[in-house]
């Protein structure tokens, strides 16, 4: 069996709980598969789904999964102008967006059964270009920016990923799983898929982790697991998670960047004392998410490792530049930056992760650096060159550079008068949802250059470090 629609093969037993309303439904009563196929004026094409983690979002996604459509999963609170930019670039045939009442040149199609009603926007423009039928899902490389760059994933990619995760995590059919991460994020989508595969109960409309309602819901519904990026663990630490009595919790997972060692140790100790398990994992959207994980019993000895590869995957290190390379059935089929790119799905034998790694004697891998210029903030990857381009367009003629400081914040170095650049933080927030406190501005007399005449990022971060010394 392969192909992502097979994650639904246990659908008869799957229950969905809406944490907001407290209602429970069988997945089979909610799925609109037949209704959608009957109502759609086309069999294939591109669908844009603006989603997060609501019941409607999950049902819209799963109902469309079995059609011939290619589904682009996007953040539902993307700024309106970014949505229309993406739509004019890719010309989707169908849009699911609960945040909008109207989209020009579309007609609304309401699809309902006894339990649920969803509304889709349909373009009446016929075929808008051929799409390789292997492309099932498109995910954005960064969760937040509305960048038109997508990762092309096939049904087989998504299946292989879900299957490998389900084989190393202690998922049980009796589990109740909160979908606390957005589904347009590869980690969130992985949680959905791997637990569907095992026939678990899924909880939608999960409130924010720092709201009291989340914790009432935790014990009311009896969550078995929790997934989080490093920031979520920092937050859990701050709200006294380890002092809470959570008898239903069996295991929790962390991915989406590096969590600090003291916190990893603290959560490991907690898991040991409370008879729970803690999984540290590594991956990329380009691998449909998961690449490696640290087996729980090895965690204390390998706390800073990204572990060993998932089932059917292989990891090794490039002997020339020490880049971490991955092979496996979950490697994506290339990027798409335009409709044209949807015509093909490439078989990529080796995924170059862009991370520099080493391997210890027992075969565990460790990330020691990064080849590409990006920053990972709050689990989201942000391309620094893209930021730089954007800011140069916003401030024509300005000489500026963006750099990553330890995945803690973005350093923007600018030549010029601070008064002229007051809006930099605000515009980064509006366009990329990068929180102003994650951006530091440094004003320099001139831009330091390397021997080759390129921006000397190292010199800039040294300047910053010198200035911020107490």
Q: By CB under 8 A, name the binding residues for other proteins.
A: 77, 208-212, 215, 231, 234-235, 238-240, 243, 378, 425-426, 429, 433, 435-438
Other beta carbons within 10 angstroms of residue 200's beta carbon come to 25
The distance of closest approach from Cβ of residue 425 to other proteins in the complex, given in angstroms and rounded to an integer, is 6
The distance of closest approach from Cβ of residue 218 to other proteins in the complex, given in angstroms and rounded to an integer, is 12
Cβ proximity to other proteins: between 276 and 425 the closer is 425
Cβ proximity to other proteins: between 153 and 439 the closer is 439
Cβ proximity to other proteins: between 79 and 327 the closer is 79
The distance of closest approach from Cβ of residue 370 to other proteins in the complex, given in angstroms and rounded to an integer, is 22
Cβ proximity to other proteins: between 234 and 388 the closer is 234
Task: Report phi then psi at 170, rounded to 5.
Answer: -80, 50
Q: In the sheet that 365-370 helps form, which strands lie side by side, from edge to edge?
A: 314-317, 323-327, 351-359, 365-370
The distance of closest approach from Cβ of residue 77 to other proteins in the complex, given in angstroms and rounded to an integer, is 8
Cα–Cα distance, 22 to 30 (Å, whole number): 16
Cβ proximity to other proteins: between 104 and 212 the closer is 212
Q: In the sheet that 399-405 helps form, which strands lie side by side, from edge to edge?
A: 399-405, 409-415, 439-444
Give every CB contact of residue 297 below 8 A, 6+ residues apart in sequence: none
The distance of closest approach from Cβ of residue 239 to other proteins in the complex, given in angstroms and rounded to an integer, is 5
Cβ proximity to other proteins: between 290 and 433 the closer is 433
The distance of closest approach from Cβ of residue 61 to other proteins in the complex, given in angstroms and rounded to an integer, is 24
Q: Degrees (nearest 5) of the Cα angle 48, 328, 363?
A: 130
The distance of closest approach from Cβ of residue 34 to other proteins in the complex, given in angstroms and rounded to an integer, is 37
The distance of closest approach from Cβ of residue 234 to other proteins in the complex, given in angstroms and rounded to an integer, is 7
The distance of closest approach from Cβ of residue 430 to other proteins in the complex, given in angstroms and rounded to an integer, is 9
Three-class DSSP labels, the chain: CCCHHHHHHHHHHCEEEECCCCCEEEHHHHCCHHHHHHHCCCCEEEEEEEECCCHHHHHHHHHHHCCEEEEEEEECCCCHHHHHHHHHHHCCCEEECCCCCCCCCEEEEEEECCCCEEEEEEECCCCCCCCCCCEEEEEECCCCCCCCCEEEEEHHHHHHHHHHHHHHCCCCCCCEEECCCCCCCHHHHHHHHHHHHCCCEEEECCCCCCCHHHHHHHHHHHCCEEEECHHHHHHHHHCCHHHCCCCCCCEEEECCCCCCHHHHHHHHHHHHHCCCEEEEEEEEHHHCEEEEECCHHHCCCCCCCCEEECCCCEEEECCCCCEEEEECCCCCCCEECCHHHHHCCCCCCCEEEEEEEEECCCCCEEEEEECCCEEEECCEEEEHHHHHHHHHHHCCCCEEEEEEECCCEEEEEEECCHHHHCCHHHHHHHHHCCCHHHEEEEEECCCCECCCCCECHHHHHHHHHHHCCC
The distance of closest approach from Cβ of residue 217 to other proteins in the complex, given in angstroms and rounded to an integer, is 13
Tokens in use for 357?
A: 């790694």
Cβ proximity to other proteins: between 212 and 396 the closer is 212
The distance of closest approach from Cβ of residue 399 to other proteins in the complex, given in angstroms and rounded to an integer, is 24
The distance of closest approach from Cβ of residue 144 to other proteins in the complex, given in angstroms and rounded to an integer, is 11
């Amino acid at each position: 069996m392969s192909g992502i629609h097979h994650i639904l093969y246990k659908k008869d037993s799957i229950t969905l709980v809406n944490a907001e309303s407290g209602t429970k439904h069988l997945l089979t009563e909610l799925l609109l598969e037949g209704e959608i196929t009957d109502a759609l004026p086309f069999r294939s094409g591109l669908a844009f789904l603006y989603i997060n983690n609501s019941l409607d979002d999950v049902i819209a996604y799963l109902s469309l999964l079995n059609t011939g459509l290619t589904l682009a999963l996007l953040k539902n609170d993307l700024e309106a102008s970014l949505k229309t930019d993406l739509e004019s670039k890719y010309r989707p045939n169908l849009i699911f967006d609960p945040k909008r009442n109207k989209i020009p040149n579309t007609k609304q199609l309401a699809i309902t059964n006894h339990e649920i009603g969803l509304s889709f926007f349909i373009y009446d423009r016929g075929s808008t270009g051929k799409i390789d039928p292997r492309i099932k899902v498109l995910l954005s490389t960064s969760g937040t920016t509305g960048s038109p760059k997508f990762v092309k994933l096939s049904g087989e990619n998504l299946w292989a990923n879900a299957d490998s995760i389900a084989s190393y995590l202690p998922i049980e059919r009796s589990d109740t799983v909160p979908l606390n991460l957005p589904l347009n994020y590869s980690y969130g989508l992985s949680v959905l898929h791997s637990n569907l595969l095992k026939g678990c109960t899924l909880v939608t409309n999960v409130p924010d982790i720092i709201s009291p309602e989340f914790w009432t819901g935790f014990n009311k519904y009896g969550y078995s697991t929790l997934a989080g990026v490093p920031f979520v663990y920092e937050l859990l630490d701050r709200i006294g998670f380890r002092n809470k009595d959570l008898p239903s919790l069996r295991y929790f997972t962390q991915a989406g960047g590096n969590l600090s060692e003291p916190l990893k140790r603290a959560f490991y100790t907690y898991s040991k004392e409370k008879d729970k398990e803690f999984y540290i994992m590594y991956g990329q959207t380009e691998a449909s998410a998961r690449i490696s994980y640290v087996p729980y019993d090895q965690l204390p000895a390998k706390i800073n490792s990204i572990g060993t590869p998932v089932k059917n995957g292989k990891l090794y290190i490039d002997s020339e530049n020490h880049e971490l390379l991955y092979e496996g059935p979950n490697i994506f089929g290339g990027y798409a930056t335009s409709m044209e790119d949807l015509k093909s799905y490439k078989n990529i034998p080796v995924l170059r992760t862009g991370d520099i790694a080493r391997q210890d004697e027992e075969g565990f891998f460790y990330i020691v650096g990064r080849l590409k210029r990006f920053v990972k903030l709050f689990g989201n990857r942000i391309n620094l060159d893209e930021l730089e381009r954007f800011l140069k367009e916003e401030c024509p003629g300005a000489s500026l550079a963006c750099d990553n400081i330890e995945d803690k914040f973005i350093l923007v170095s600018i030549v010029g008068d601070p008064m002229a650049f007051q809006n930099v933080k605000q515009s980064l927030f509006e366009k990329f949802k990068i929180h102003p406190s994650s951006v530091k501005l440094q004003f320099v007399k001139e831009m330091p250059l390397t021997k080759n005449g390129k921006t000397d990022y190292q010199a800039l971060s040294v300047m910053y470090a010198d200035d911020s010394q107490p």
